[in-house]
Amino acid sequence: MATAALHPPTSTGLDSRKLGFWIFLGSETLFFASFISAYMVYKGESVVGPYSAEILDIPLTTVSTFVLLMSSLAMVLGLAGVQQGSRKNSLLWLGVTIVLGATFLAFQAFEFTEFYHHGLTLQTNLFGSTFFILTGFHGAHVTIGVLWLMILWLQALRGKLGPEKALNVEIAGLYWHFVDIVWIALFTLIYLIQ
């Protein structure tokens, strides 16, 4: 209990940072819902190509989806490492999470480049506008997550990420898993249900 005094007393008995972050994630659901709504409403309304069915690469995106799902697994293992005070496991699994997150971003960059070469841009048609805005904002969230995890990884490397800092990692993990569940929805709504 040496680390018990982590935050001042609260009426709920819960850490205000964690509660505040859950409220933030709640607001993020509405943020993504607005872009998902736009995508779904304009689905099939493009009057010029390329159309979604012609251009979406299901096998490629399946692999990137698998990569992001596994990054969530690595994230919880990293959190467990920090909670257990294992610097080795913290570094390993947070590092794996960063690598998998960066790999997902590389897949997305490749996909966007391919679409551009096929003539699909933000201005081409309704599919291009809604697709790039929706997946682009998701990619921006992943990028922020990777940078956040890199900061935590560097702290772990310097031996400054002990069990007393586990809540910092848990909150970063909440963000990371949220990005993952958003992609779970996007993968189905954009790629599989055409």
Partner 1 sequence: MAAEHGHGMTPHEGAQPGAGAHAGRPDQAGHVDPAHAEHEHASIKTYLLIGLILTVITAAEVAIFYIPAIADTSWLAPILITMSLGKFVLVVMYYMHLKFDSRIFSSVFVAPLILAVTVVISLIILFKVLPTYL
Residues of this chain that interact with partner 1 (CB under 8 A) are: 1, 3-10, 12-15, 17-19, 22-23, 25-27, 29-30, 32-34, 36-37, 40-41, 43, 58-59, 62, 65-66, 69-70, 72-73, 75-77, 80, 83, 163-168, 170, 173-174, 177-178, 180-181, 184-185, 187-188, 192-193
**Residue nearer to partner 1 on the CB measure, 120 or 169:** 169
Residue 62 and residue 111 in contact, taking contact as beta carbons nearer than 8 Å: no
Q: Tell whether the torsion through CA atoms of 64, 70, 75 and 78 is positive or negative.
A: negative
**Residue nearer to partner 1 on the CB measure, 105 or 179:** 179
**Residue nearer to partner 1 on the CB measure, 116 or 163:** 163
Is the preceding peptide bond at 50 cis, omega within 30 degrees of 0?
A: yes
Residue 112 is classified by DSSP as: H
Least distance between partner 1 and beta carbon 187 (Å): 8
**Residue nearer to partner 1 on the CB measure, 13 or 159:** 13
Least distance between partner 1 and beta carbon 38 (Å): 8
Least distance between partner 1 and beta carbon 152 (Å): 13
End-to-end CA distance of the chain: 54
Q: How far apart are CA 147 and CA 52, in angstroms?
A: 31
**Max Cα–Cα distance, the chain, nearest Å:** 65
Reported residue count of the chain is: 194
Amino acid at 156: A
**Residue nearer to partner 1 on the CB measure, 62 or 121:** 62
Least distance between partner 1 and beta carbon 160 (Å): 14
Residue 107 and residue 67 in contact, taking contact as beta carbons nearer than 8 Å: yes
Residue in the structure block whose two tokens are 């590389």: 106
Residue 183 and residue 68 in contact, taking contact as beta carbons nearer than 8 Å: yes
Least distance between partner 1 and beta carbon 137 (Å): 14
Least distance between partner 1 and beta carbon 62 (Å): 5
**Residue nearer to partner 1 on the CB measure, 25 or 102:** 25
